Amino acid sequence: MEKDNNNLINFVSNSAKIGRNVKIWHFSYIGNNTDIGDNVSIGSLVHIDYNVKIGDNTRIEGSVYIPPLTTIGKNVFIGPCVTFTNDPYPMSPKMTGVIVEDGAIIGGRAVFKAGISVGKNSVVAMGAVVTKNVPPNVVVMGHPATIRYSRDEYDIKKKKWNS
């Protein structure tokens, strides 16, 4: 157990490996044999179950659920209330995780079917329901999520928005 200055409690398993400069906000859970890289930020009310791997420089916003067997790469952003799943046929004794590759951006409230992967530098829009693998360098949105444009187009739109 970990207590902060405001007496708000997190649970971090003794078998979890936590990298340098990791920030864990209030009321979060980190399960057994989870491996979290350096410079990771984990928001409030996040549940990271056992056997999860999270790469360096990743930011996870509040109320995210990351089930066992999920792998998240480096430099990933995960928006609030994202839900990953690991059981394609509940309640099956056989589970499989979701893989999110380096540089991906996941918008708030996106939901992921067990066993899929999100390619390097892809963007999943807020509220998307991801039922199939997402290739690298694309933007997907909708129910079910479909490719709408390239990551390059996304970066241009973002630059225009920020200027």
Domain covering 2-162, topology: UDP N-Acetylglucosamine Acyltransferase; domain 1 (2.160.10)
Direct distance between the N- and C-terminal alpha carbons of the chain, in angstroms, rounded to an integer: 44
Please list the pLDDT of the chain residue by residue as tens digits (163 residues).
Answer: 444 445 568 899 999 999 999 999 999 999 999 999 999 999 999 999 999 999 999 999 999 999 999 999 999 999 999 999 999 888 888 999 999 999 999 999 999 999 999 999 999 999 999 999 999 999 999 999 999 999 999 999 999 999 9
pTM assigned to the model = 0.93
Sheet (strand 53-54) strand order: 17-18, 35-36, 53-54, 71-72, 99-100, 117-118
Which amino acid appears at position 113 of this protein? K
